[in-house]
Amino acid sequence: MNSFKRFILWDYRRGSVQYDIMVGLILAFVFLTPREWFKDQPKASSVTMLQTAHGSDAFWIDSAVLSSVPESDRLARASQLVKNRTGRKESVVRLEPIVDSEQEIKGYMAFTTP
């Protein structure tokens, strides 16, 4: 019981064998735990799914993501970003820029069909 109490309260001197074993166990847990245990999957940055009134899907795409893409390729790039975000093959049928009062593009609304 005493060794369990010392383990829980981290009551080992730095540099001792027990301390090194505990640090090794913590590092093994951090680096060897599968992502699926915590539902930690990579997602496309700056892409957010929005609910619409009539049941179709809409996505907010940050302007920084599409700013370097030529206008002719934006629809295809938006489709790829949505696919990365959802994991489903959805095609973007309409991409609308959202502008502020100074007519600067703040983002894009992407409307999809399954």
**pLDDT, tens digit (0-9, with 9 covering 90-100), for 18-56:** 889 989 999 999 999 887 787 766 654 678 788 777 667
| Residue 82 or residue 56, greater confidence | 82
How many other C-beta atoms lie within 10 A of the C-beta of residue 47? 19
Looking at the structure, tell me whether residues 60 and 109 fall in a common domain. Answer: yes
* Parallel/antiparallel/unpaired status of strands 105-113 and 47-51: unpaired
Q: How many domains are there within the chain? A: 2
Looking at the structure, tell me whether residues 51 and 31 fall in a common domain. Answer: no
Domain extent, residue 86, equals: 47-113
Looking at the structure, tell me whether residues 56 and 106 fall in a common domain. Answer: yes
Looking at the structure, tell me whether residues 51 and 94 fall in a common domain. Answer: yes
Contact 95, 113 (CB under 8 A): no
Looking at the structure, tell me whether residues 84 and 59 fall in a common domain. Answer: yes
Looking at the structure, tell me whether residues 13 and 51 fall in a common domain. Answer: no
51 burial type by CB count under 10 A (0-12 exposed, 13-18 middle, 19+ buried): exposed
How sure is the predictor about 65, in pLDDT bands with cuts at 50, 70 and 90?
confident
